[in-house]
Amino acid sequence: MLSKSGCPTTMLSIRDALEAVEGRWKLLILFSLSQGPKRFKQIAREVQGITDKTLSKELKSLEANKLIDRKVYDTFPPTVEYSVTSHGLSLEKVLDELHYWGLAHRKEVIGK
């Protein structure tokens, strides 16, 4: 891919992917939801250090990117649950590659 140098479509798609997972929180939220559907307060407890305001913003962004699903149950009071979509799960291969390369990178730069 590095040899199909600078192709605008390639760059665009890579930008899209980087944007979908950027920031400190999105991956942590996805990790938390990968264990199963959760309610707001449960996620807030598991993703340590996140404020309610930020969590709310990040959940909206993840939902807009169709990485997670928000479901409202007709209970009293209403229950809201978040879960990873199949599109969100498809990130797995990307995260794997990032993970392996990140490990090699750490070794290369920091020297083990």
* Positions 81 through 110 that interact with a second copy (CB under 8 A): 84, 87-106, 108-109
Minimal distance, residue 87 CB to a second copy, in Å: 5
Can residue 80 be called a binding residue for a second copy (CB under 8 A)? no
The span from the CA of 21 to the CA of 30, in Å, is 10
In the complex with a second copy, which residue's Cβ is closer, 17 or 80? 17
CB atoms under 10 Å from CB of 110, counted, come to 7
Can residue 55 be called a binding residue for a second copy (CB under 8 A)? no
Q: Out of 35, 73, 74, 75, point to the residue binding a second copy (CB under 8 A).
A: 35
In the complex with a second copy, which residue's Cβ is closer, 52 or 92? 92
Strand ranges for 17-96 from DSSP E? 68-73, 79-84
The span from the CA of 47 to the CA of 55, in Å, is 9
| Alpha-carbon distance values, 37 to 50, 51, 69, 77, 82 (Å) | 19, 20, 9, 18, 5
**Interface positions with a second copy (CB under 8 A):** 1-3, 5-6, 10-18, 20-22, 27-28, 30-32, 34-35, 46, 64-66, 84, 87-106, 108-109
